[in-house]
Amino acid sequence: MTSLDLTRGLGVCVIEAMSDLAPRIRILPDQVANQIAAGEVIERPVAVIKELVENSLDAGATHIEVEFRNGGKAYMRVQDDGCGMDPDTALLSLERHATSKIQSADDLNTIRSFGFRGEALPSVASVSKFTLRSRARGWTEGTEIRINGGKLLERKACGMPVGTVVEVANLFNTVPARRKFLKTDATESAHIIYLTRLCAVAHPQVAFRLLDNGRVVFQSPACLDLRERIGEIWGPSLANDLIPIEWQDDQNPEMRGMRLHGLVARPGQGRATRRDMITLVNQRPVESRTLGYAILDAYHGYLPRGRFPPTFLFLEIEPAMVDVNVHPAKREVRFRSEGTIRRFVVEAITDCLSRFQESRKVSLPQPKARPSDTDQAAETADRDKPMADPSLAQSDPRAPAAEVAVYANPLPSAVPLPVAHAKVDPAHTDPPTDRPSPKTLTRTSFEQEPKTSLADWRYIGRMRERLVLLESADGLVLLDLAHARQRVRFESVVEQIGREEADSAGAQSLLLPISLELEPLLCTTLETHRALLARGGFVVEPFGRHFYRIEAIPAWLDPGSAESLLRDTLEQLREAGGGANERLAAERFARLAAVFSTRSESTPDPAAVMRLLADLLACQHPHTCPRGRPTMQLLTHAELNRRFASTQKDAFPR
Ligand code: ADP
Ligand code: MG
């Protein structure tokens, strides 16, 4: 079999073959160089899929099928019914910098197509076992070209319908250094699935089908509109909750020609991660800080801090206003005028959300969530009243899961903390049956013997909803109810999950199971962490493809919040990827649980406050909430004396 070095360009190879001038050994460094360059564009399987799908879209395909095995490492295939290539074009397409899409550097300013570097096919072909089959319109047969590691193996005619199929096997087999950097099959699969979904949502009118190891991950026929496509892929419940946005501002000369459209979350409809905050520029899914900030900015006041709205936002602008050539994989874009774009997007979303609020005021004079409503609705109702106190908004109990990992807040050093090693007085604790006795918590950080007992504490009163004033042996203590509850819940959940087996006392069975529809990736996450969730109180059973039933929930949890907590947990666990070990997974769950446990809590009476205090003082880390914010502040007797008494004689009697 003749072996051509495709990576050097066909023309050069032919001359070499004829004149036989070049010593064979010169080819190697070149090829190595090519493989390295290829590695930069094609860093992992998903990059191959992306390039191939973009080629199919550029070719005007109406049906695209993507298949992969073993996270794409073993095999990938992208098949389309686009314009196809005639035999010469097919061969030419495998030459480096051969592209039909631009002719000069100036064309980069007017790019409308997805591809433009003319590098993808040769790059992929140089690091895999590669087969291209293509038939152009007007041709009776197609061409098949087989390449292995950049060497042309075979080119022959083949029977096939109009369109193109590219198969890529054994990616990076000849480049062990690259292969080493690939993640687990599950992680690589997750990337491919996510990307394909983005491509599908960017082009609702194109039918998509995605297969993983022969199993259909999703398939969607050509859709009439975006909402239908989102419903097909993300599920109807999300799709139906989104509100449409359509914005242009031709009055403003800066913004002329820009358009923002798509679907966005309604007020209060937030997620724990930014994964579903999807932005596209000229139909290209992109990550853009500018757009991300603009969205969060616009949702300020409509969502608690740290929650992320699902959005499917399409920005259309002049190609000259955006630089798509800043990222090797074209994932990021840079705008020529970031400020204008940002203002445009903020205005558009703000207008959309306030109109939505207005329309609801008219149609629903008393927006009040029924108890049976989903958490989202409850959140929406909450958000209907503007946030009066920004400081409270900040420490919203539903706050972020994404941020909870930060234990940054140092404790204020000026105010000494109460000695927290109080003995738990059984008379006062009387723990409600729904939580494990605090005494079962292991104490590791205690160095001193407890100095005070709970009997030394006295309830004084409450102020500003969630602050409790207490007198302790050391002075006046201000206790933050929300933070204290979160700490107690966090440790009790970690303890509960850490047990060998699920404890039925930790769960409440639901008379009416809650049905749950999950996107494929979350199904996988759920399966992975099923046992852990069960120990945390969630019993979830499969109920058809992508459907589950929540049969039991943690005993302490308000059933109305069950689905949200489970979803947020799954999203967090998915975000952590396959690498999340049991302990970290348990902590993520517990942090979310902590946040959720303060949502439905009613105002406690003094006895309940004392029970909470007992539980708190029995915690391993009683001084902070799981996010590191203080649970209490102490004004010592000495401090009180310093402030009020001028002489020793004057001091307050103890
Ligand atoms: P680029 O997309 O940057 O032009 P590629 O290496 O991805 O570079 O593709 C090279 C050329 O091969 C394209 O410009 C196009 O003409 C042709 N081509 C690639 N894939 C397809 C396809 N699926 N259908 C039709 N033509 C294709
Ligand atoms: Mg391309």
pLDDT greater at residue 32 or residue 352: 352
Instruction: Look at residue 600 in the predicted model and tell me its pLDDT.
Output: 60
Contact partners, residue 129, CB within 8 Å, separation at least 6:
146, 147, 148, 149, 168, 169, 170, 173
In the sheet with 475-480, reading across from the earlier edge strand, the strands are 458-463, 467-472, 475-480, 632-636
pLDDT greater at residue 341 or residue 518: 341
In the sheet with 284-286, reading across from the earlier edge strand, the strands are 243-247, 259-264, 311-316, 277-281, 284-286
* 83 Cα nearest atom in ligand 1: 25
Query: Do residues 404 and 493 make contact, with C-beta atoms less than 8 angstroms apart?
Result: no
How many whole angstroms separate alpha carbon 204 and alpha carbon 227? 9
Instruction: Look at residue 405 in the predicted model and tell me its pLDDT.
Output: 24
543-561 mean pLDDT: 87
How many whole angstroms separate alpha carbon 106 and alpha carbon 320? 10
- Given a cut of 90, is residue 553 above it in pLDDT? yes
46-67 mean pLDDT: 95
301-318 mean pLDDT: 91
How far does the centroid of ligand 2 lie from the alpha carbon of residue 633, in Å?
61
Pick the range with the lowest mean pLDDT from 1-5, 86-90, 438-442, 597-601.
Answer: 438-442
pLDDT greater at residue 290 or residue 652: 290
How many whole angstroms separate alpha carbon 497 and alpha carbon 91? 59
* 114 Cα nearest atom in ligand 1: 2
How many whole angstroms separate alpha carbon 649 and alpha carbon 646? 8
121 lines ligand 1 (CB under 6 A): yes
How many whole angstroms separate alpha carbon 24 and alpha carbon 17? 10
59 lines ligand 1 (CB under 6 A): yes
- Given a cut of 90, is residue 646 above it in pLDDT? no
> Which residue minimizes the CA distance to atom 19 of ligand 1?
55
Confidence band of 558 (pLDDT split at 50, 70, 90) = confident
Render pLDDT for 589-641 as a digit per residue (tens, 0 to 9). 999 999 888 776 677 888 889 999 999 999 988 888 888 888 998 888 888 88
Exposure of 205 in the CB half-sphere (CA atoms within 13 A) = 4
For residue 197 the two structure tokens come to 């979904």
Domain with CATH 3.30.565.10 in the chain: 30-220
How many whole angstroms separate alpha carbon 52 and alpha carbon 67? 12
Confidence band of 15 (pLDDT split at 50, 70, 90) = very low
Query: Do residues 264 and 255 make contact, with C-beta atoms less than 8 angstroms apart?
Result: no
How many whole angstroms separate alpha carbon 290 and alpha carbon 153? 47
> 418-450 burial string, b = 16+ CB within 10 Å, else e?
bbbbbebbeebbebeeebbebeebeeeeeeeee
* 54 Cα nearest atom in ligand 1: 2
71 lines ligand 1 (CB under 6 A): no
Instruction: Look at residue 408 in the predicted model and tell me its pLDDT.
Output: 26
- Given a cut of 60, is residue 647 above it in pLDDT? yes
Pick the range with the lowest mean pLDDT from 14-18, 101-105, 172-176, 268-272.
Answer: 14-18
Instruction: Look at residue 95 in the predicted model and tell me its pLDDT.
Output: 80
101 lines ligand 1 (CB under 6 A): yes
How many whole angstroms separate alpha carbon 108 and alpha carbon 115? 11
Query: Rounded mean pLDDT of the chain?
Result: 77
pLDDT greater at residue 417 or residue 349: 349
Render pLDDT for 212-255 as a digit per residue (tens, 0 to 9). 999 998 999 999 899 999 998 888 888 988 999 999 988 888 88
For residue 166 the two structure tokens come to 């590219």
> Which residue minimizes the CA distance to atom 7 of ligand 1?
120
How far does the centroid of ligand 2 lie from the alpha carbon of residue 90, in Å?
13
Max CA separation in the chain (angstroms): 110
80 lines ligand 1 (CB under 6 A): yes
* 78 Cα nearest atom in ligand 1: 23
**Superfamily of chain region 412-654:** MutL, C-terminal domain, regulatory subdomain (3.30.1370.100)
- Given a cut of 80, is residue 436 above it in pLDDT? no
- Given a cut of 90, is residue 451 above it in pLDDT? no
- Per the document, the length of the chain is 654
Report the SS3 class of residue 327: coil
Instruction: Look at residue 425 in the predicted model and tell me its pLDDT.
Output: 35
Dihedral pair phi/psi, residue 290, rounded to 5°: -55, -50
Instruction: Look at residue 171 in the predicted model and tell me its pLDDT.
Output: 94
Residues with CB under 5 A from ligand 2 (ion): 55, 115, 120
DSSP per-residue letters across 268-284: T--BSSGGGEEEEETTE
41 lines ligand 1 (CB under 6 A): no
For residue 195 the two structure tokens come to 């990307």
Pick the range with the lowest mean pLDDT from 26-30, 180-184, 207-211, 566-570.
Answer: 26-30
Q: Percentage of the chain surpassing pLDDT 90? A: 39
Domain with CATH 3.30.230.10 in the chain: 241-358
How far does the centroid of ligand 2 lie from the alpha carbon of residue 332, in Å?
17
Report the SS3 class of residue 405: coil
Confidence band of 329 (pLDDT split at 50, 70, 90) = low
Q: Report long-range pairs for 372-379 (Cβ below 8 Å, ≥24 apart).
A: 372/560, 373/560, 374/560, 374/563, 374/564, 375/560, 375/561, 375/563, 375/564, 376/241, 376/268, 376/269, 376/564, 378/560, 379/268, 379/269, 379/270
What single letter denotes the amino acid at residue 279?
A: T
100 lines ligand 1 (CB under 6 A): yes
Nearest Cα neighbor of 469 from 482, 478, 481, 456 is 478
Query: Do residues 477 and 463 make contact, with C-beta atoms less than 8 angstroms apart?
Result: no
The owner of tokens 């074009």 is: 89
How many whole angstroms separate alpha carbon 60 and alpha carbon 49? 17
How far does the centroid of ligand 1 lie from the alpha carbon of residue 230, in Å?
28
Report, at the CATH architecture level, how domain 241-358 is classified.
Answer: 2-Layer Sandwich (3.30)
> 313-325 burial string, b = 16+ CB within 10 Å, else e?
bbbebebebbbbe
- Given a cut of 80, is residue 195 above it in pLDDT? yes
- Given a cut of 90, is residue 154 above it in pLDDT? yes
CATH number of 30-220: 3.30.565.10
Domain with CATH 3.30.1370.100 in the chain: 412-654
Contact partners, residue 190, CB within 8 Å, separation at least 6:
521, 524, 574, 577
453-470 mean pLDDT: 86
Instruction: Look at residue 626 in the predicted model and tell me its pLDDT.
Output: 87
Query: Do residues 551 and 509 make contact, with C-beta atoms less than 8 angstroms apart?
Result: yes
Confidence band of 331 (pLDDT split at 50, 70, 90) = low
371-380 mean pLDDT: 37
- Given a cut of 90, is residue 300 above it in pLDDT? no
614 lines ligand 1 (CB under 6 A): no
Nearest Cα neighbor of 398 from 478, 307, 487, 483 is 307
130 lines ligand 1 (CB under 6 A): no
Render pLDDT for 72-84 as a digit per residue (tens, 0 to 9). 999 999 999 999 9
Render pLDDT for 82-117 as a digit per residue (tens, 0 to 9). 999 999 999 988 886 656 655 555 555 555 666 555
117 lines ligand 1 (CB under 6 A): yes
Instruction: Look at residue 113 in the predicted model and tell me its pLDDT.
Output: 62
pLDDT greater at residue 436 or residue 332: 332
Confidence band of 152 (pLDDT split at 50, 70, 90) = very high
53 lines ligand 1 (CB under 6 A): no
Instruction: Look at residue 327 in the predicted model and tell me its pLDDT.
Output: 62
For residue 441 the two structure tokens come to 């918590």
How far does the centroid of ligand 2 lie from the alpha carbon of residue 50, in Å?
9
- Given a cut of 90, is residue 202 above it in pLDDT? yes
Could you write out the three-class secondary structure of 106-136? HHHHHCCCCCCCCCHHHHHHHCCEEEEEEEC
Report the SS3 class of residue 65: strand
428 lines ligand 1 (CB under 6 A): no
Confidence band of 535 (pLDDT split at 50, 70, 90) = very high
How many whole angstroms separate alpha carbon 163 and alpha carbon 228? 26
What single letter denotes the amino acid at residue 51?
A: E
Q: Quick one: which H or E segment has residue 304?
A: none
Nearest Cα neighbor of 130 from 154, 152, 146 is 146
How many whole angstroms separate alpha carbon 58 and alpha carbon 115? 7
Among 48, 121, 199, the mutation site with the greatest number of ligand 1 atoms within 8 A of its Cβ is: 121
- Given a cut of 60, is residue 450 above it in pLDDT? no
Instruction: Look at residue 13 in the predicted model and tell me its pLDDT.
Output: 33
143 lines ligand 1 (CB under 6 A): no
